[in-house]
Chain A
Amino acid sequence: MTLQFNDETFRDDYSFHNSERAIKRFPFPFDKDSYMYVVNMEQHRGGPSDSIYEMRFDVDEHYVSEMRDRAMVLADDPLRCQSLPHMTLAGWDLLELIMVSKSEDYPDLFQLHRDGDKWHWINKPLGIDDHFTFMDETTLPYGPMEYITRQTQGDFCVLDQRDDNLWMDAGTITTQADWSLDFDIGMNFFEWHAPVPLAHEKGIFVRALKFLLNIQQGAPARRLNWTMTVNPLLDTSPENYHKWGIQKTSLTPENIGAKQHLRVELQTFFRLPRSNALVFPIRCYLCAFQDIVSVPKWGRRLHRVIRDLPEELATYKGFIDNRPMMLDYLSKFDDGQDTSNGIWPELDSEPPLKT
């Protein structure tokens, strides 16, 4: 398996695109034809070959361009990456977890050589070759969390565990679904989820917290979450909402297939050993509607899910105004045939679209 990295943008001319292979491995988040919140956690211990579940930290064709976009966001607004003082140890935990995982999972791309505290890290795709002393911040150009998350796709929340709760005390958040780290840092699990509708009433967060507090070393977990984004824009931050919000009104029946993207988060959870903190990577995958409907099962299902979604959720996820246009488009790819359970594309077994 050799990876070709795309040269693409997530802003301005939006040259982001998914290859055939990337579309087939897109984490379509709906395992049946309807959607409601559930605590849909499972063990994160690998998955089908070349799926996004296979490795601990998935590296795909967008890696180099996503890291370039992150550097631009952080240059504009360094507050997107913050770590409260007591979280430095957790930052080292995270650096170790990612370096060890990537060097074992992608030996052709990443190498880690350790001699006691003297570490040598090579990141070939980004052209990084650094020697540093583990646990000595002065030997790295950034704090440990920032250093490694500038080299890893996805947002990272690093959560302190105390008083039977989780606290958002550090993170690197540049591809967020409309929430602000600078505002939410220091909040507990219930507080940072406070704006989410319906789920509190359903007891979802109480059960999810209980699960997360008990995540053990060596037993990471994962789930999928999703929202919608017009244009392949990674930085859908509240900070810049007054700039990007207007793009939501740029959809037309002609451009919706190319412009409207399903945005899926692969959320994983790892216990960090030295600090007893929990890291919560939120990896964002984007896929244009026109690419999703190239998989017949996904086209049928996406239409049904969006059609039947409760109004509160469509509002919270920010696409209530565009839902009618989405349904007009998607209905052309729903011929009413049954779909099989599960998220996988099943290209060989699902019937083609009846026309």
Chain B
Amino acid sequence: MSGAEKIAVRVTEVTPLNDLVTRFRFEPVDGGLLPTFSGGAHTVVEMQDGAITRLNPYSLMSDPFDQSAYTISVRRDDEGRGGSLFMHKSVSVGDEMVISNPVNLFSLDLRAKKHLMIAGGIGITPFLAQIKQLDRAHGNWELHYACRSQALGSYVDYLTDTHPNDVNVYYDDQDQAIDLENLTDRQPLGTHIYVCGPKGMINWVRAKSTDLGWPREAIHYEEFLAPQPGKPFEVKLAVSNKVIQVGEQESLLEAIERAGVDAPYLCRGGACGMCETRVIDYTGNFIHRDHWLEDDEHASGEKIMPCVSRFEGKTLVLDR
């Protein structure tokens, strides 16, 4: 890891919202104040899962000005490597955990004349904090939120109760869909669009707004990739002169850390660029999954983002 000190917190509430999503409330162990943050920020939560340390990023959803506690919402991913399952099954009120200082890779453009927010499923969480920030500044915003069903619509009641005129909810199982064409075609100059949700939704919103002539700088999106399991592989770390094994259920970054080698990171989701690592030598194929490197960089075999990308082959030597 690198940079700021971590924050020791105690879990003070665990609140199941529906079949998939549970909310966790963290308060500082020392009884002091947590740092304020900006809407859209995330924290990296450390999980001691037996011998394995998992580090997963979650959007902060509480009021950015509330220094007494942070809250996050975790969607259970039964197919994933187990971070969300650990949170759901093994974390309970009273537990002590360690989280990072807030980092924002999805921040509001405060120049915007209007903020148009598009959320899908658990992608609602960063918007909950952004809405609190904007309400305090009397900001102009509008939310369009797509959920699978009423039963799985986390925070729908809260949002529609508090902001009946600015929140629009769409249920997939009722065949309701965001009318994106009309929505993006009638926004005043100076509007910024923000989308957080599944990859398909992000691509859809980016493509549609680009087709209608929206500038790149006015389109903001956040998708945290969870590292995917894969075949084990061996890596040589040239600087620290170590050979490490990357297991099926761990990421390359986690394996590097497990070997005691310091690798910088911010998001652990392929977006921030911090853990970019130079490839010194390889024989085999990369499985690049990040949003950070350009296509030609992926093809070059010169760089890898160890937080989400993997390797299949005989030799991989990294500049770490």
B37 contacts across to A, CB distance below 8 A: 217, 273-274
B20 proximal to A (CB < 8 A): no
| List of A residues within 8 angstroms of B97 by Cβ | none
- Report how far A89 CA is from B108 CA in the complex, Å: 12
A194 CB–B CB distance under 8 Å: no
**Nearest neighbor of A90 in chain B, beta-carbon distance:** B110
Are A86 and B102 in contact (CB-based, < 8 A)? Answer: no
Whether A219 contacts B38 by the Cβ 8 Å rule is no
Partner of A214, one of B133, B136, B272: B272
Whether A162 lies near B109 (C-beta < 8 A) is yes
Q: How far is the CB of B277 from chain A (nearest CB, A)?
A: 14
A44 nearest CB across to chain B (Å): 12
In the complex, whether A163 has a CB less than 8 A from a CB of chain B is yes
B3 and A276: CB pair below 8 A?
Answer: no
Question: B284 at interface (Cβ–Cβ under 8 A)?
Answer: no
**Nearest Cβ in chain A — how far from B136, in angstroms?**
8
> Quick check: is B266 within 8 A (CB to CB) of the other chain?
yes
Check if B110 sits within 8 Å of A216, measured CB to CB: no
Q: Once A and B bind, how many residue pairs between them come within 8 Å at the CB atom?
A: 59
Q: Is B201 an interface residue (CB 8 A)?
A: no
Which residues of A240-285 are within 8 A (CB) of B?
273-276
Given A162-B109, A217-B4, verify A274-B64 contact (CB < 8 Å): yes
Distance (whole angstroms) from the CB of B14 to the closest CB of chain A:
26
B65 and A274 form a contact (CB under 8 A): yes
Interface pair A274/B38, CB less than 8 Å apart: yes
Contact with B along A209-223 (1 / 0, CB 8 A): 010001011110000
| Contact assessment for B111 and A219 in the assembled complex, using a CB-CB cutoff below 8 Å | no
Tell me which residues across on chain B come within 8 A of A276, comparing CB atoms.
38, 40-41, 104, 107
| Interchain CB contact under 8 A, A217 and B103 | yes
Point out the residues of chain B lying under 8 angstroms from A162, CB to CB.
Answer: 107, 109, 217
Contact with B along A52-75 (1 / 0, CB 8 A): 000000000000000000000000
Chain A residues with Cβ below 8 Å from B209 are: none
Q: Quick check: A219 and B3 within 8 Å, CB to CB? A: yes
Report chain A residues within 8 Å CB of B264.
Answer: 214
Structural contact, A86 and B110, CB atoms closer than 8 A = yes
- Whether B111 contacts A86 by the Cβ 8 Å rule is yes
Residue interface mask A66-105, B partner, CB < 8 A = 1: 0000000000000000001111010000000000000000
> A219 to chain B: which residues have CB within 8 Å?
3-5, 101
Measured CB to CB, the nearest residue on chain B to A163 is B217
Write out the residue numbers on chain A whose beta carbons fall within 8 Å of the beta carbon of B266.
214, 216
- Are the C-beta atoms of A218 and B103 separated by less than 8 Å? no
Which residues from A are CB-within-8-Å of B3? 214, 216, 218-219
Interface SS majority for chain A = loop
* B110:A273 contact, CB within 8 angstroms: no
**Residue on A with the closest CB to B109?**
A162
On chain B, the residues within 8 Å of A322 by CB distance are none
- Tell me if A275 and B110 are in contact (CB < 8 A): yes
Q: Which residues of A contact B133 (CB under 8 A)?
A: 274
Contact A217 B111 (CB under 8 A): no
Tell me which residues across on chain A come within 8 A of B64, comparing CB atoms: 274
Mask: chain A, 136-167; 1 = CB below 8 Å from B; 0 = not: 00000000000000000000000011110000
Closest to B266 in A: A214
Which residue of chain A has the shortest Cβ distance to B216 in the bound complex?
A: A163
Q: Which residues B86-139 have CB closer than 8 A to chain A?
A: 101-104, 107, 109-111, 133, 136-137
Given contacts A162-B107, A162-B217, A274-B65, contact A218 B4 (CB under 8 A): yes
Asked whether, in the complex, the Cβ of A274 is within 8 Å of the Cβ of B36, the reply is yes
Assembly CA distance A161 to B36 (angstroms): 17
* Chain B contacts for A161, CB-based, 8 A: 107
Q: Is B35's beta carbon under 8 Å from chain A?
A: yes
Measured between C-beta atoms, what is the minimum distance from B7 to chain A in Å?
9
- Give Cα A89 to B4, complex, Å: 23
- Check A160 against B110 for contact (C-beta < 8 Å): yes
How far is B111's CA from A84's CA once the two chains are assembled, in angstroms? 9
Taking the nearest CB of chain A, how far is it from the CB of B33, in angstroms? 10
Inter-chain contacts of A135 with B (CB < 8 A): 136
Q: B274: CB under 8 A from chain A?
A: yes
Say whether B104 contacts A218, CB under 8 Å: no
Identity of the chain A residue whose Cβ is nearest the Cβ of B100 in the assembled complex: A216
Minimum Cβ distance to chain A for residue B165 (Å): 24
Interface residues of B in 236-256 (CB under 8 A from A): none
**A215 nearest CB across to chain B (Å):** 8
**Is B36's CB under 8 angstroms from A273's CB?**
yes
Q: Please measure, in the bound complex, the distance between the C-alpha atom of A274 and the C-alpha atom of B137, giving whole angstroms.
A: 12
Q: How far is B38's CA from A89's CA once the two chains are assembled, in angstroms? A: 10
In Å, the complex CA distance between A288 and B217 comes to 48
Are A217 and B101 in touch, CB under 8 angstroms? Answer: yes
- Is there contact, CB below 8 Å, between B35 and A214? no
Cα(A273)–Cα(B107), bound, Å: 11
Is the beta-carbon distance between B102 and A89 smaller than 8 angstroms?
no
Chain B CB count within 10 A is highest, among A87, A160, A276, for A276
CA distance A273 to B129 in the complex (A): 13
Query: Could you tell me if B217 and A216 are in contact, using CB atoms closer than 8 angstroms?
Result: no
The listed residue (B103, B107, B109, B273) touching A216 by CB distance below 8 A is B103
CA distance A206 to B107 in the complex (A): 22
Q: How distant is B268 from chain A, measured CB to nearest CB, in Å?
A: 14
Minimum CB distance partner of B220 in chain A? A162
From A87, A161, A273, residue with most partner B Cβ within 10 Å: A273
Q: How far is the CA of A275 from the CA of B136 in the complex (A)?
A: 13
Report how far A51 CA is from B103 CA in the complex, Å: 31
Q: 8 A-B residue contacts at CB 8 Å?
A: A161-B107, A216-B3, A216-B103, A217-B37, A217-B101, A219-B3, A274-B37, A274-B133
5 closest Cβ pairs, A-B complex: A218-B4, A219-B4, A86-B110, A219-B3, A276-B38
- Apart from A84-B111, A273-B36, A276-B38, what 7 extra A-B contacts exist at CB < 8 Å? A162-B109, A217-B37, A217-B101, A219-B3, A219-B4, A273-B102, A274-B64
